[in-house]
Amino acid sequence: MARISVLFFFLSLLLLATAGVSSGAPTKRVGIYELRRGEFSVKVTNWGATITSVVLPDSKGKVADIALGYDGIRPYTNDTTNFGALVGRVANRIANARFTLNGRTYHLLPNDGNNTLHGGPKGFGRVIWTVKDKVDGEYPYITLYYRSVDGEQGFPGDLDVYVTYKIDDDFVLSVIMHAVPLTKPTPINLAQHTYWNLGGHESGSILEDRIKIFASHITPVNDQLIPTGEIRSVSGTPFDFREPAKIGSKIGRVPGGYDINYVLSSPADVQGVRKVAVVEDGRGSGRVLELWANQPGVQFYTGNFLKHERGKNGHYYKIHDGLCLETQGFPDSVNHPKFPNQIYSPGQVYKHFMQFKFSFK
């Protein structure tokens, strides 16, 4: 009898373990999860709610992984690139690691000189998220959840954060981010930090890619990449991508390369969703990326800080081997009252929607 109940106990454990997330039981065990629809595969880990790979064919049917990243999970826990990560509580830089809200000054943890970058040294891209839901089938998705507590990295109030990665259609990836402040008003600005290389993550520089960015202004920055507060026209500057142009055609006039917030100006639908950018591969794969989102800005970053970074398959990524299009609010908004508001109070919900549509020429 005792033996039978012991056996039953172990069987139940085994069942619980194998039932895993598909039964709806949330798990915090760190794993890599695949979403697949036909030849389109997206892999995500709950470490940092990170996209680890995006595999799809080119115009001739040859498949490649077009997201920069690492093999396995461990290198993500000690990286400085934010490859594929979901960054927050406040993406981008906050000057001097502080801001004032309702008369109180909050001190954050600096991790970029004297400034706070991507939520601090242990921002949302460096924590373990809970897998809430993982659903396969025609429109596969995964929902990850993280509870950020009052005072974490210096930010006020408890916050529930959800991100869903979903394959909506053939070669269409949606990212749906929600954040719910529970106890205090707080700034919220999440961003998806995948580095794209449409020729394949190992195919070298993106400077031959053609890009169109649907923005007529930028928020210029000082030498520490902190916005000056000005909103400046791109006209006559190397930031003007209102007409498609090779990224490399004017990057020589931008010290360090592109790492700048664009003020999006294309018309928005009733949900606030607008076209952000179109990128065409410069190496003949025929892959095209179109990005749509409901945010006021997009940070265009050309992998300027990549230096001999050991990635997937032992490949070393060099400067400009990937590009990021991080839709978000404007950087350092908490210190610029004229920038769009990023403060959310209990009772309000932060909603950030992105859609990456891939096609072939």
Ligand X SMILES: *[C@@H]1O[C@H](CO)[C@@H](O)[C@H](O)[C@H]1NC(C)=O
Q: Which residues are annotated as a binding site for beta-D-galactose?
A: 92-93, 193-195, 259
Query: Shortest distance, CB of residue 123 to ligand X, whole angstroms?
Result: 17
Does residue 113 touch ligand X according to CB under 6 A? yes
Q: Is 348 in the site for ligand X (CB under 6 A)?
A: no
Answer for which of 5, 18, 23, 78 binds ligand X (CB under 6 A) is 78
Minimum distance of ligand X from residue 112's CB (angstroms) = 9
Identify whether 193 is a catalytic site residue.
Answer: yes
Half-sphere exposure of 94 toward its Cβ, with a 13 Å CA cutoff? 30
Nearer of residues 97 and 213 to ligand X, judged by Cβ = 97
Catalytic-labelled residue, pool 178, 193, 201, 217: 193
Task: Specify whether the CB–CB gap between 41 and 64 falls below 8 A.
Answer: no
Cβ-closest position to ligand X: 113
Nearest distance, CB of residue 202 and ligand X, angstroms: 21
Q: How far is the CB of 307 from ligand X (least distance, A)?
A: 11
Of the listed 118, 201, 326, 352, which one is catalytic?
A: 326
Is 352 in the active site? no
Q: Which of 22, 100, 114, 341 binds ligand X (CB under 6 A)?
A: 114
Compare residues 112 and 168 and give the one whose CB is closer to ligand X: 112
By annotation, the residues acting in catalysis are 193, 326
Under the rule (CB under 6 A), what is the footprint of ligand X?
Answer: 78, 113-114
